[in-house]
Structure 1
Amino acid sequence: MSEIDKRNRLSEEPFTYQITKNGTVTINYKGKQIKVVKDKEAERLIARIKAVENNMLEVQLLLAKITGNFKRGNEKMGKNKRK
């Protein structure tokens, strides 16, 4: 078992990306846009994706790392929040 993806979530391929004409990269998580990468950072990301594009798990790992720690599992729903 990989130490990076212990719960095997990246094999479900939750991340998608799209490269626009002007060179920006939009990253989506389960269909929702979560990050837009521009300029030099986008160039580096595109180069890294092209280097590992035949291994989808590696691409998922790159996208997960670039998005940062945005989902911890302890978020609360606004309507269901107790007072």
Structure 2
Amino acid sequence: MSEIDKRNRLSEEPFTYQITKKGIVFIHYEGKQIKIVKDKEAERLIAKIQEVEDNMTEVQLLLAKITGNFKRGNEKLGKNKK
């Protein structure tokens, strides 16, 4: 894991997920919804999560990979954040 997560960000567990009854997966990053996974892709993700459910770092890695490179550092801050 040392080569994948060099800055040790996944140990902070920034990603969370929610699986609905219909099999839709909502992925959140630091409390904000960033991706919705449906259909076959959701089925594959759920199966992979269930395989590594006991290892939270592996679950975080799966969620990071499925979201892709969504955060590039140029996001605008809200009016109340500084």
1:59-80 CA distance string (max 9 Å, x none) = 000000000000122x04278x
**Structure-2 residue corresponding to 1:48:** 48
The normalised TM-score by structure 2 is 0.90
Measure the CA separation in 2 of the matches of 1:78 and 1:32.
Answer: 13
CA 76–61 in structure 1, closer or farther in 2 if over 3 Å, else same: closer
Larger Rg: 1
Tell me the residue number matched to 2:18: 18
The alignment-based identity, stated in percent, is 79
Partner of 1:66: 66
- In structure 1, stretches of 5+ residues that fail to align are none
> Following the alignment from structure 1 to structure 2, what is the Cα–Cα distance between the partners of residues 78 and 60?
25
Paired letter, 1:32: K
CA-atom RMSD, angstroms?
Answer: 1.8
* 2:76 aligned residue: 77
Where does structure 1 differ by over 3 angstroms across 4 or more consecutive aligned residues?
Answer: none
TM-score by length of 1: 0.88
How many residues matched?
79
Unmatched 5+ stretches in structure 2: none
Q: Report the CA distance shift for 1:41/1:76 in structure 2 as closer, same or farther (over 3 A).
A: closer
